[in-house]
Amino acid sequence: MPPETLTPARILETTEDVLRRYGPAKATVVDVARALGVSHGSVYRHFGSKAALREAVTQRWLDQSHTALSAFADAEGPAEPRLREWLAGLFAAKRHKAGDDPELFATYMVLVGENSSVVDRHIETMIEQLARIVSGGVRDGDFLAVDPAPTARAIWDATNRFHDPAYAAEWFRPGIDAAFEAVCDLVLRGLRSA
Amino acid sequence: MPPETLTPARILETTEDVLRRYGPAKATVVDVARALGVSHGSVYRHFGSKAALREAVTQRWLDQSHTALSAFADAEGPAEPRLREWLAGLFAAKRHKAGDDPELFATYMVLVGENSSVVDRHIETMIEQLARIVSGGVRDGDFLAVDPAPTARAIWDATNRFHDPAYAAEWFRPGIDAAFEAVCDLVLRGLRSA
């Protein structure tokens, strides 16, 4: 069988495996190359440094949330249920990430700490999606005539207990779903035009 | 001059000094006793263990917020400005604690991590204060007919970026006051009856 082509996507997948296996403190580019059966030079041709590789794998992990949620942001229909679905979708996705594979989640928490500019860009993208929903709600008269960008940021901030990984331990406690619904209700009432 | 009476308050004040000076990892009951010029037995007569002393000093630190804020919670007058003042007062108090004496704040962050039941009780007290304001607003018709207790918790959660010490580093960034106001506006609009 001919060897698979070495694509950035394959390198990033393997990097995730290696990070999970060796932990973020020990994993090296040589480990990634060995797992792929290539020289470390081949990996460096795609990612110029260990830091660039770790940044790219962090970005890829964060991007998984964008893709699923942008469907709610860009769907047709009334803004209020879309906003609620977006917030619930984000909380569910974060909870899955934290609960299904806690070791990988802990690994990414280390990477997230190292790559604050990647995280900042991710948050901006999330807030832009929220702003598109708010904007649609204002246009259709479902929401008050608020300024979408700062309002989107306020929604992001007001719900941060349910998406900031610093709170991951709380996401599995009894009562967390009721707490989430109560915050969503409060936020949505604060947007509603009537 | 006769020696001052050894009161719990004096012990707690001195404990704070000792914690600040030696750091929470190294400070001992013997250090506290030495700073007071008494035997460690005298300290143990008031606080049965090192853990009890650390818990009491944490409680005292957290209680400082209660006292100042309860004035807003129990004042007369319309609920909306009282709620805004309470939230702004809490944010200001937290920011002062974090900014005026960062070393002491870091010390208390260690103690807070050790004394989760003290922290839980503190949060309950804060949420009870919020519930009193909400309750008054509902009674006077300023607020929608919400259930005060879960709504108070939702307000607490929705504003946590501005009171959870995990976010202390963000409290000194440009734009934080605007972000705080935007969340308050959203929350207050979500409570207002008309």
Q: What is the DSSP string of A163-182?
A: T-GGGGGGGGSTTHHHHHHH
Please judge whether A161 and B159 are an interchain contact, meaning their C-beta atoms are less than 8 angstroms apart: no
Size of interface A-B (CB pairs under 8 A): 66
The token duo for A2 is 């001919």
**Distance between CA atoms of residues B26 and B107, nearest Å:** 11
State how far residue A98 is from chain B, nearest Cα, in angstroms: 19
Q: What is the pLDDT of residue B45?
A: 95
* Distances, alpha carbon B124 to alpha carbons A52, A166, B86, B120, B144, in Å: 45, 21, 15, 6, 23
Please name the CATH architecture into which domain B57-189 falls. Answer: Orthogonal Bundle (1.10)
Residue B97 region by backbone torsions, left for phi larger than 0, else alpha for psi between -120 and 50, else beta: alpha
Of A153, A157, A183, the CB nearest to B154: A183
Q: Is the dihedral of CA B181, B183, B187, B192 positive or negative?
A: positive
State how far residue B151 is from chain A, nearest Cα, in angstroms: 7
Residue B153 banded pLDDT, cuts 50, 70, 90: very high
Residue B3 banded pLDDT, cuts 50, 70, 90: low
Q: What is the pLDDT of residue A89?
A: 95
Q: What is the pLDDT of residue B4?
A: 74
In this prediction, what percent of chain B has a pLDDT beyond 90?
78
Neighbouring C-alpha atoms within 13 Å toward the C-beta of B147: 6
Q: What is the pLDDT of residue A185?
A: 96
Q: What is the pLDDT of residue B64?
A: 82
Please judge whether B150 and A189 are an interchain contact, meaning their C-beta atoms are less than 8 angstroms apart: no
Question: Under CATH, domain A61-189 is a member of which superfamily?
Answer: Tetracycline Repressor, domain 2 (1.10.357.10)
**Which of A111-120, A183-192, B132-141, B176-185 bottoms out in mean pLDDT, i.e. has the lowest?**
A111-120
Residue A38 region by backbone torsions, left for phi larger than 0, else alpha for psi between -120 and 50, else beta: beta
Q: What is the mean pLDDT of residues B142-155?
A: 96
Of A90, A57, A58, A96, nearest to A71 (Cα)? A90
Q: What is the mean pLDDT of residues B117-129?
A: 94
The residue ranges of every structural domain in chain B are 8-46, 57-189
The pLDDT tens digits along chain A (194 residues) read 456 789 999 999 999 999 999 999 999 999 999 999 999 999 999 999 999 999 999 999 988 877 889 988 888 899 999 999 999 999 999 999 999 888 889 999 999 988 889 999 999 999 999 999 999 999 999 999 999 999 999 999 999 999 999 899 999 999 999 999 999 999 999 999 87
State how far residue A146 is from chain B, nearest Cα, in angstroms: 10
Chain B interface test: which of A84, A160, A184 (most B C-beta within 10 Å): A160
Of A154, A160, A166, the CB nearest to B186: A154
- Give the tens place of pLDDT for each residue, B60-78: 998 887 788 998 888 889 9
Please name the CATH architecture into which domain A8-46 falls. Answer: Orthogonal Bundle (1.10)
Q: What are phi and psi of B192, to 5 degrees?
A: -60, 140
Residue B9 banded pLDDT, cuts 50, 70, 90: very high
Q: What is the pLDDT of residue B2?
A: 53
Please give the full DSSP string across B91-102, using - where no structure is assigned.
HHHHHHHHHH-H
Give per-residue burial for A46-83: e unless 16+ CB within 10 Å, then b. Answer: bbeebeebbbbbbbbbbeebeeebbebbeeeeebbebb
